[in-house]
Amino acid sequence: MDVQRLPERLHPGPGRQQGCRQAFRGVPVRAAGLHRTASRGAGPRAPGAQDDLRGSRLSGQRDHRAVHRGSRSDGRCSGSRAQSGLRDAAARIQREGRRDHRLECDRRDGPARRAERRGPQGRRRCHRAAPRRDHELLIVPCSSRSGPAKAGPGARQPTARQARGADPLAVATTTSDTLDRRYALLGTALIAPTVLIFCAVILYPLISAIYLSLFSIFTPTLEGNWVGVDNYAVLLASGRFWNALANTLIWTIGTLILQIVCGVGVALLLNQSIVFRSLARSLVLFPYFLSTVVAVLVWRWLFNDLYGILNHLMLAAGLIDMPVNWLGAMPNAMISIIVVGAWKYFPFVVIAVLARLQTIPDPLYEAARIDGAGPIARFFDVTLPQLREVLIVIILLRAIWDFKEFDLIWLMTGGGPINSTQTLPLVVYQEAFGLNQMGMAAAYAVTMMIVMLAFMLIYLRQTRDRDPV
């Protein structure tokens, strides 16, 4: 309780100096009255009388100053006495609060509870709760500035929580726990639809694939027998799986490298101040937004060995003597699908890298220029380290998407010639709907997922180990 501020709260009257002036207002008046009395003499004054009058005025002024000095010192003494009296009043209010608290506890509780409270622990508990009641009682009249609180019908009655002597810290903790519980329920309700969709779209098909891979199931009827891990044993023993895995890795690595190189180069070009830069940024996204079927049909026409525009231009330029079979011979078929895949998906790399290039601070390049670094040195020393985090995410996403690519390869070559471009997604499709072996197709799909997961874990571990400290 702030005792120093209590006098202003309990006694909102004039200040201490004003009270001193009111208390000693009559003394200077009487001193002035002596001057008036001495100046109201009857008849003419003699020179000696004037000197006596002047001396009496001087002595009156000295008495006036002495009285004022005494009044100031008496005022300070009276202020101290008033402050001491207010302290006594505060202590008295505290004692009355404790007494009221004990009386209220006795009135509310029964005889057994009163006997328990009269013990040492009960008395300490009652006394601990009393100062909070006293603080509340002292604070009530301060807001109204109307002096000390008085008991009566107009007095402010304590609330039920105050009457129970509730601990503010316990009340705040309970309120915080309630709010946390409500926020947790709200968060659960908001995320529940997403979790249900995730389970329906991802978790259920995954569990179903693992379950089907343990059976030999005929696709049209979905009936079969339990074979356990025999499907995985046949899969690993066959050369078809390893050939498809090798083709998948060649396709994924080749198209990923071309996507990164072309995407970073185009992003660097579009980050410069060139003519029609906005138009170029819009047009570069065209391959990514184009339908895969449309893009494949256009590229098949370009790669046609009889009337394709690519062979026609190369024959006209004298680069070849006869048309080249781009999609019907190896390694032309693998090179062709890698080029088409890189052209189709490199705009994704352009978007991500260009967004990061625009956030690189210019002072880094200015410092490199001052040090004498050329364009190539600035790229490897400034740009490439700044792009590292973005490139890690891009490589991870594009590797996953390219590893499971199906429609582009199927529409371009169908896995041919023979099985030269057959990847694991194509094998899964052929096993499930070509040979009607749903169990074996599920085993191929689960194995493909395990291989992709292993490669991704190795990649993430390598990139994490190379992070600068």
Boundary-marking domain end, from 132, 166, 200: 166
Q: Containing domain of residue 206, as a range? A: 167-212
Q: Are residues 246 and 178 in the same domain?
A: no
Q: Find the mean pLDDT for residues 8-26.
A: 43
In angstroms, the CA 184 to CA 16 distance is 57
Reading the block at residue 211, the tokens are 């379950």
Question: Would you say residue 136 lies in a domain?
Answer: yes
Q: Are residues 172 and 144 in the same domain?
A: no
In angstroms, the CA 269 to CA 252 distance is 26
Residue 226 in 3-state DSSP?
Answer: strand
Give the per-residue pLDDT at 460.
Answer: 85
Residue 132 in 3-state DSSP?
Answer: helix
Give the per-residue pLDDT at 469.
Answer: 41
Q: Are residues 238 and 366 in the same domain?
A: yes
Q: Are residues 459 and 356 in the same domain?
A: yes
Question: Would you say residue 40 lies in a domain?
Answer: no
Q: Are residues 58 and 204 in the same domain?
A: no
Confidence of residue 211 (pLDDT cuts 50, 70, 90): very high
Q: Are residues 134 and 208 in the same domain?
A: no
Length in residues, the chain: 469
Give the per-residue pLDDT at 114.
Answer: 60
Question: Would you say residue 222 lies in a domain?
Answer: no
Angle at 229 between CA 224 and CA 232, to 5 degrees: 100
Question: Would you say residue 111 lies in a domain?
Answer: yes
Beta-carbon count within 10 A of 76 CB? 13
Residue 224 phi, psi dihedral angles, 5° rounding: -170, -170
Total number of domains constituting the chain: 3
Helix H, strand E, coil C: the string for 145-169 is: CCCCCCCCCCCCCCCHHHHCCCCHH
Q: Are residues 179 and 277 in the same domain?
A: no
Question: Would you say residue 315 lies in a domain?
Answer: yes
**Is the peptide bond prior to 331 cis by the omega test (within 30 degrees of 0)?**
yes
Q: Are residues 321 and 173 in the same domain?
A: no
Q: Find the mean pLDDT for residues 408-428.
A: 92
Q: Find the mean pLDDT for residues 345-371.
A: 93
pLDDT (tens digit per residue) in 389-411: 999 999 999 999 999 999 999 99
Q: Find the mean pLDDT for residues 338-357.
A: 95
Residue 276 backbone zone (phi > 0: left; psi -120 to 50: alpha; other: beta): left
Confidence of residue 223 (pLDDT cuts 50, 70, 90): confident
Q: What share of the chain is helix, strand, coil (3-state, %, to 5)?
A: 75, 0, 25
Confidence of residue 22 (pLDDT cuts 50, 70, 90): very low
Confidence of residue 95 (pLDDT cuts 50, 70, 90): confident
Q: Are residues 305 and 337 in the same domain?
A: yes
Q: Are residues 108 and 171 in the same domain?
A: no
User: Which residues are paired to 215 by β-bridges?
Assistant: 226
Identify which has the larger pLDDT, 37 or 173.
173
Q: Are residues 135 and 247 in the same domain?
A: no
Q: Are residues 89 and 171 in the same domain?
A: no
Q: Find the mean pLDDT for residues 344-352.
A: 95
Q: Could you tell me where the DSSP H helices lie in 199-331?
A: 204-212, 230-237, 239-270, 277-283, 286-289, 292-302, 309-317
Name the nearest CA neighbour of 259 among 332, 340, 356.
Answer: 340
Reading the block at residue 365, the tokens are 């390049």
Q: What is the DSSP letter of 223?
A: E
Q: Find the mean pLDDT for residues 128-154.
A: 42
